[in-house]
Amino acid sequence: MSAVLDDKTRNKALINEVLEVYPEKAAKKRAKHLNVYEEGKPDCGVKSNIKSLPGVMTIRGCAYAGSKGVVWGPIKDMVHVSHGPVGCGQYSWATRRNYYNGTTGVDAFGAMQITSDFQEKDIVFGGDKKLDKLVDEITQVFPLAKGISVQSECPIGLIGDDIEAVSKKKSKEVGLPMVPVRCEGFRGVSQSLGHHIANDAIRDWVFDKADYNAPFESTPYDVVLMADYNIGGDAWSSRILLEEMGLRVIGQGTGDATLKEIEMMPRAKLLLLHCYRSMNYIARHVEEKYGVPWFEYNLFGPTKIAESLRGIAAFFDDSIKEKAEQVIAKYTALSQAVIDKYKPRLAGKKVMLYVGGLRPRHVVGAYEDLGMEVCGTGYEFGHGDDYQRTTHYVKDGTLIYDDVTSFELEKFAEKIRPDLMASGVKEKYIFQKMGIPFRQMHSWDYSGPYHGYDGFAIFARDMDMAINSPVWGMTKAPWKK
Amino acid sequence: MPQSAEKVLDHAGLFKEPEYQEIFERKKAQFEGGCGADKVREVADWTRTMEYREINFKREALVINPAKACQPLGAVLCASGFEGTLPYVHGSQGCVAYFRSHFNRHFKEPCSAVSDSMTEDAAVFGGLNNMVDGLANAHALYKPKMIAVSTTCMAEVIGDDLDGFIKIAKQKGSIPEDFRVPFAHTPSFVGSHVTGYDNMLKGFLTSFWDGKTRAETTAPAININGGFDGYCVANNRELKRMMKEMGVEATIISDPSEVFDTPTDGEFRMYAGGTTAAQMEAALDARGTVFMQGISAAKSAEYVEKAGQKAVSLHCPVGVTGTDAFLMAVSELTGQAIPASLELERGRLVDAIADSQAHLHGKRFALFGDPDMLLGLTAFLLELGAEPVHILCTNATKDWTEKINALLAASPFGKDAKAWPGKDLWHLRSLLATEPVDFLIGSSHGKYLERDIGTPLIRIGFPIFDRHHHHRFPIWGYQGGLNVLVKILDKIFDTLDAKTTDSASFDLVR
């Protein structure tokens, strides 16, 4: 009890300490994003989804990153055009590891940078003509492409281009679905609006153009696994469990998805939503318009996996419920062996999280399965509903930081000295310099998958190798006291 | 069950297991709606034909896998090379997240830079308020000695005026009046990352030198600028070492060799090393400034000459003749002789080339990368007796095309070569498929070409994402030449070994 009190007092003091450094106006604003979680409260007591302050080194990205980089980019049989200057597409070229099967450049277009590479004349005279011509060229060099999306970069919305008109015209001409996405980077406060805009584009340009009266042989067990971007193959190590419990995965998205699979969402009996933040909009739409329920599941760590598989099975008949139990039983030995091997090496270790999407809450259970404790967490681009959902995961006294600045995170870590920092590539090297073990929890540090039972073994191995690496014993020269 | 606690399989092994292969097959057959393996193979084969190459080269609007990035990336690298300097990008915040992660992935180091997070309201009213708050916040939190401002395309499209905004911010008390804020407009729809580097560099020179009177020093003092250089950590140290050997007082203008190579000793240093303000002030009086990547520093070189200094433009000197030219240029500027110690290093590099030339002679290469880098590497290949064949520069200038053609024309080993300005790596794919070469030199992005066409990739360039620590070894100077030579030779021998594993030619001694 006193330890919790101590942590609470320390965390509150820490918040005050970082706020003191800000100019007054900024301190007032940042104060609303930092808090210490009080057990029993309905949310984490922080404001969120608000503009980042200028000049503070926010870790957030932009709407384009949310649409091209997250939602649309992984759809593998479409060509996604980064429409505007060269940079955005260059930096997001294959850096998010959305795994897919296919022949790149032939029938799959994932790990590519396809752009209209705007020049000054395109800014001055507009880029619509270039886009028109570019579509023809796509059909010539990529004859197997199943569709084209236009991922708007900042200038598009500023120079008054009409990408919707071009898309409608060219879609008819070339006979391919074409999706204009208004995800200019200046829109909204983070990646999050990009997710929303990308979801709306699925609604308007995919669902509304598909023919759902066409015959389709459905089964009572049809599901679509969605909002898993297949980082390191996560969607695959999730799908294996769903199939084993007797479900038919008629679509997967958007990681390793084809356009046809995205179209399947309204056909499903249940939508399985991994990343609530990035695709709840379309799930709600499908529920409202097509009457398909959705379920937010969590396949990190055996405790949450079992909970989720049972939660999913509850939507179906007894045969699925039985099979879900069989799946849980089948993998118990594996999970126990993983825990037996790694828990003794990891028990009691403190973790600070700062990530995006669902991970600031969803991975907590996996750490706890290994005896570890999350002592601070925050969302890069979360909303109020994320912070409400987080209360089911975190303990009393946990330090909460929304849209944390590099300055704050560094100060927090300096004082708390967690045994592991779990965040992104921009943070990785900072904390390693400080001698704090680190794992990238956006990209799994190029490892993974972490989802499902197969993924949990890799997760445990990776956390162990980060924390127990001999390198951390060498950061101080032996002749220095 | 493929997974076990004893032998944990991650993605590289796990998905090859039959349980997953069955899932992939089922997903493909029942749900993906693809066109079948035969059709995919047929089209894949067709993409390697001359017919496809002709269609591919007719592209006018569509750019596929370009080897270039945008201006502010270069501005951030340039700004990172000054002491205590915080790169600050005026515009949308996502860009800065991208620049930082791009450098993180290349250097495996932290990269500090801020954005002033302009959104819809700034698009309508301009980003002045963002600048006023942004400079105040950045100054309070990160306590820089300088803030170097560049722009994203958003700010450029709406026409924000940096000079005016910075002055107003100072008047409003965001930062002290005398706080130095070098700035540069860096529109991403003009040029590439190297243009942005040049613009930011000129911004620094202007900030320090404008309105100052030059009095040329009598000391053997020069300035050197490395340009946008992924090897800046090691190259700059190598430059400093060589200059010390020559007794030359060299100021590296923009030196990120410390900030992108700090130790892991328990402390995070947001700022480390870099060109100091005092050095920048003194730099005006130097005998001259050597630009290691002259094509990409055209505006800065012009400014230096206007300031009354001699500007020497080199082209990423890799190898013997490149380094010779560099040292002789320094000697001419300073009057310092090239010492025996460096001549000894030269002799050792020539010795190494002589030892290995039989493996290099006549080998055919394709190269892609930044303009000056390509000139330097091509010159080195020519002096090795290797034959550059396809030289592709997405961010070429007219000057580059003339220079590379002149370089090729001057060597019998350049007779089969063709320069491809403004083309992208999808063009290069067609070139490699229809006119094969033995090896490919370029950044990590070349790995897709290696996979598709089978041409072994030698990783030299930017970015190098999939190999670690290459940037810790120089490619300039005689020592750097040796590193490049070994990189090329290792790939040649690895390829030869792989080719001969089942034959008598699997030799122990090569």
Average confidence (pLDDT) over B432-456: 98
pLDDT for the residue numbered B144: 98
Q: Is A54's CB within 8 Å of B61's CB?
A: no
**Mean pLDDT calculated for residue range B72-94:** 98
Contacts of B34 in chain A (CB under 8 A): 77, 102, 107, 258
What b/e string do you get for B456-479 counting C-beta neighbours within 10 Å, with b at 16 or more? ebbbbbbbbbeeeebbebbbbbbb
Cβ of B92 and A185 within 8 Å? yes
Mean pLDDT calculated for residue range B85-91: 98
Q: Do A64 and B94 touch (CB under 8 A)?
A: yes
Select from A91, A123, A433 the Cβ nearest to the Cβ of B189. Answer: A123
The stretch B227-245 carries a mean pLDDT of: 98
Indicate the pLDDT class of residue B431, thresholds 50, 70 and 90. Answer: very high
Please give the average per-residue pLDDT across B61-78, as a whole number.
98
pLDDT at A1 over 80: no
> Shortest CB distance from B264 goes to which of A77, A258, A433?
A433
Reported as a single tens digit per residue, the pLDDT across A387-429 is 999 999 999 999 999 999 999 999 999 999 999 999 999 999 9
3-state secondary structure of B178: coil
Query: What mean pLDDT is predicted for residues A272-284?
Result: 98
Considering only CB atoms, which chain B residues are within 8 Å of A113? Answer: 64-66
Query: For position A421, what pLDDT does the model report?
Result: 98
pLDDT in tens, B249-283: 999 999 999 999 999 999 999 999 999 999 999 99
- Count the Cβ atoms, other than its own, within 10 Å of residue A61: 28
What pLDDT is stored for residue A480 in this prediction? 87
ipTM here:
0.97
User: What mean pLDDT value characterizes chain B?
Assistant: 98
pLDDT for the residue B376: 98
Model pLDDT for residues B113-170, shown as the tens digit of each residue: 999 999 999 999 999 999 999 999 999 999 999 999 999 999 999 999 999 999 999 9
Residues of B in contact with A191 (CB under 8 A): 94
User: Please, which pLDDT band fits residue A5 given cuts at 50, 70 and 90?
Assistant: low
Please say whether the beta carbons of A351 and A395 come within 8 A: no
User: B186 phi and psi, to 5 degrees?
Assistant: -130, 65
pLDDT surpassing 60 at residue A35: yes
Asked if A23 and B28 come within 8 Å (Cβ–Cβ), the reply is no
Q: Are strands A147-152 and A222-228 parallel, antiparallel or unpaired?
A: unpaired
Residue count (chain A): 481
What pLDDT score was predicted for residue A445? Answer: 97
The model's confidence at residue B112, banded by pLDDT at 50, 70 and 90, is: very high
What's the token pair of residue B479?
A: 């020592």
| Residue A317 clears pLDDT 70, i.e. is over it | yes
pLDDT score for B296: 94
Question: Count of CB contacts below 8 A, A vs B?
Answer: 347
Token digits of residue B330 = 């320094």
CA distances from residue A306 to A136, A300, A373, B263 in whole angstroms, order as listed: 49, 10, 20, 44
Residues A74, A195: Cα–Cα separation, whole Å: 13
Average pLDDT, chain A: 97
SS3 of B34, please?
Answer: coil
- Residue in chain A nearest B193 by alpha carbon: A87
The answer on pLDDT for A371 being more than 80 is yes
* Model confidence at B478: pLDDT above 60: yes
Query: Once rounded to an integer, what is the mean pLDDT over residues B403-410?
Result: 98
User: Is beta strand A248-254 parallel, antiparallel or unpaired with respect to A350-353?
Assistant: unpaired
For the cut 80, the answer to whether the pLDDT of residue A18 exceeds it is: yes
Six-digit token string for A346? 């990891």
Q: pLDDT tens for residues B453-469?
A: 999 999 999 999 999 99
Calculate ∠ Cα B232-B76-B297, nearest 5°: 65
- Catalytic annotation present for B157: yes
- CA separation for the pair B169, B67 (Å, rounded): 37
Instruction: Provide mean pLDDT across the span A445-467.
Output: 98
